Amino acid sequence: MASASDGMNYAPQGKPDPVVKPGEFCFAVAAMDHGHIFGQTNGLTEAGATLKYTFDKLDPDKARNLADQHGAQHVTDLDVILNDPEVQLVAAAAIPNERAPLGIRCMDAGKHYFTDKTPLVSLEQLGDVKAAIGRTGKKYMVYYSERLHVECAMHATELIEQGAIGRVFQVTGFGPHRLGPPEGRPDWFYKHEQYGGILCDIGSHQIEQFLTYAGCKDATVQAAKVANYQHPQFPELEDYGDCTLIGDNGATMFFRVDWFTPIDLRAFGDGRTFIVGTEGFIELRKYVDIGNPDGPGDHLILVNKDGEQRMDLKGKVGFKFFGRLIRDCIDGTETAMTQAHALKAAELCVRAQMQAERVTD
């Protein structure tokens, strides 16, 4: 799909590593408002899932093209998907404030749901989602791509589990993004009610990484900020946000997100994660190694008692989340990500957004 310089449509591709036979696990695509749907589709199909249907209520051509690429069927009625018992999971990247209602509809039709982040934009939606999970027993899983679809970030997950840096007590995340030509973004991108605010939207990746790397089950938002520094023509756009959290185990996080990536950077953003533990630290350079002309992304730097190690992980780690998600749906397990974890990250990004102090007029 698109290159790493276009964040909206960045869709990592991995090696096929099927966990099911063709046709054993069918899914459908039900909303394509955000380009992340291509990454979601890649991840699932590379893990062996079969794309049976595609649907997009606004852009049938886009849905038809995706269907053609995967030998799937394009439909113009969502109910075809919801009424087909072969469809076990619905993947979707709807407008953020429509993600929860769509998911609940899918779950009530007996489907697992796999939504782009942010999975929801209010505590009310969170309550509705939790009720639907209780009512249906279906999964409401989330594409937190900045960890799940980044090889160095997945490798960090394993290194930390293995104790490579001791007990993690601090995570700092930078999630800068390129806005690109303003007219290249859909209307909803500039409407706060629809996109949910910058902390809720691209901030959700960051909080999910904190909960994972620091091993927190819960956290509190200590402070948060949002701003519109440079885009008065879009008064509802937040072009900057940050947040600091305190985990239930005493670990802490800070992250910042923005829409200021310079046009000449080789990636959509200089995404970084810094993870500090009692026995060492890890730095992730996710999409580019700035200042190094040969430096692609997916670098992990580990400093601990064994010295400094730099790992170029492109193509070496893979994306285990997707196969595990498929198996979880079939087996009723939670090996890819627990439901509680997925929703806790969502809850905290909503709380960060609600609590944010606006630092510009």
Q: Does 139 bind a second copy (CB under 8 A)?
A: no
Q: Does 238 bind a second copy (CB under 8 A)?
A: no
Q: Could you tell me whether strands 87-93 and 112-116 are parallel, antiparallel, or unpaired per DSSP bridges?
A: parallel
359 scored as a contact of a second copy (CB under 8 A): yes
Query: Quick check: 303 binds a second copy (CB under 8 A)?
Result: yes
Q: Which is nearer to a second copy, 176 or 323 (CB)?
A: 176
Task: Return the number of the residue (55 or 240) whose C-beta is nearest a second copy.
Answer: 240
Residue from 223, 232, 315, 340 touching a second copy (CB under 8 A): that is 223
One of 167, 185, 191, 192 touching a second copy (CB under 8 A): 167
- The single residue among 135, 310, 314, 316 that binds a second copy, judged by CB under 8 A, is 310
Binding flag, residue 20, a second copy (CB under 8 A): no
Complete DSSP assignment for 253-274: EEEEEES---TTSSSS---EEE
Residue located via tokens 């960090």: 156
- Nearer to a second copy by Cβ, of 188 and 260: the residue is 260
- One residue of 16, 71, 263, 294 binding a second copy per CB under 8 A: 263
Residue 308 is a binding residue for a second copy (CB under 8 A): yes
For position 252 contacting a second copy by CB under 8 A, the verdict is yes
How many Cβ atoms from other residues are within 10 Å of residue 146's Cβ? 23
Identify whether 261 is preceded by a cis peptide bond (ω within 30 of 0): no
Query: Is residue 354 close enough to count as binding a second copy by CB under 8 A?
Result: no
Interface segment toward a second copy; rule CB under 8 A; list 92-100, 153-161, 199-207, 218-226? 218-226
- Answer for which of 12, 96, 280, 323 binds a second copy (CB under 8 A) is 280
- Among 270, 298, 328, 347, indicate the residue that binds a second copy (CB under 8 A): 270
CA dihedral 175, 326, 140, 75 (to 10 degrees): 100
Closer to a second copy by CB, 265 or 354: give it.
Answer: 265
Minimum Å gap between C-beta 307 and a second copy is 4
Q: Which two tokens stand for residue 4?
A: 């790493």
The C-alpha atoms of residue 325 and residue 330 are separated, in whole angstroms, by 9
* Position among 7, 43, 176, 203 found at the interface with a second copy (CB under 8 A): 176
What is the side-by-side order of every strand in the sheet holding 240-247? 307-312, 299-304, 280-285, 272-277, 168-176, 252-258, 240-247, 219-227, 357-358
69 forms part of the interface with a second copy (CB under 8 A): no
Coil/strand/helix, residue 6: coil
Does 172 bind a second copy (CB under 8 A)? Our answer is yes
Name the one range near a second copy by CB under 8 A: 17-25, 68-76, 91-99, 262-270: 262-270
Positive/negative CA dihedral, 232, 234, 235, 241: negative
Q: What is the DSSP letter of 188?
A: G
Region of 1-9, 69-77, 300-308, 329-337 interacting with a second copy (CB under 8 A): 300-308
Q: How far is CA 223 from CA 10, 228, 245, 256, 357, in A?
A: 30, 18, 7, 12, 8
Q: Report the number of secondary-structure helices (H) and strands (E) in the chain.
A: 12, 15
Question: Following CA atoms 73, 142, 242, 181 in sequence, which dihedral angle do they give, to the nearest 10 degrees?
Answer: -10
Question: Based on CB atoms, which residue is closest to a second copy, 134 or 262?
Answer: 262
Q: Where are the alpha helices (DSSP H) in the chain?
A: 36-46, 60-70, 78-82, 96-108, 123-136, 145-148, 151-161, 192-195, 198-201, 203-214, 320-331, 339-355
Rounded Cα gap, residues 214 and 154, in angstroms? 14
Specify the residue, 139 or 225, whose C-beta has the smaller distance to a second copy. Answer: 225
Site membership for a second copy, residue 291 (CB under 8 A): yes
Chain contacts with a second copy (rule: CB under 8 A): 167, 169-170, 172, 174, 176, 222-223, 225, 227, 229-230, 240, 242, 244, 246, 250, 252, 254, 256, 258, 260, 262-266, 270, 274, 276-281, 283, 290-293, 299, 301, 303-310, 357, 359-360
